[in-house]
Structure 1
């Protein structure tokens, strides 16, 4: 999944719980702007992605990309 698709999944999961970006940020122990960056598909650290996914009960799987 690319970063934009991941961001969409995070937003959908957050919305399904009725959480604001601020609430998700507090639950994940990250800043609200970090949540906004994830949802836009911007680059954030893997550690931040894992914290946010964990707060939503989602798993993050890191795989090798295509080799050309």
Structure 2
């Protein structure tokens, strides 16, 4: 019996098999929606730019001295 997971985009049940080329997504559409969210920086890892050395901080986000 194959593992069944929820599509991260629409929560539809998805069979985790080699035949499902979009896994863990249910479709190309859901895969593209997720990619677009990453590209638009909707997903972020917690933390602050204060943790970066000044030469690695994004422009405009340099911590005060």
TM-score by length of 1: 0.24
Structure number with the higher helix fraction is 1
Using the size of structure 2 for normalisation, the TM-score is: 0.24
Higher-Rg member (1/2): 2
Which of 1 and 2 has higher RCO (CA within 8 Å, sep 6+)? 1
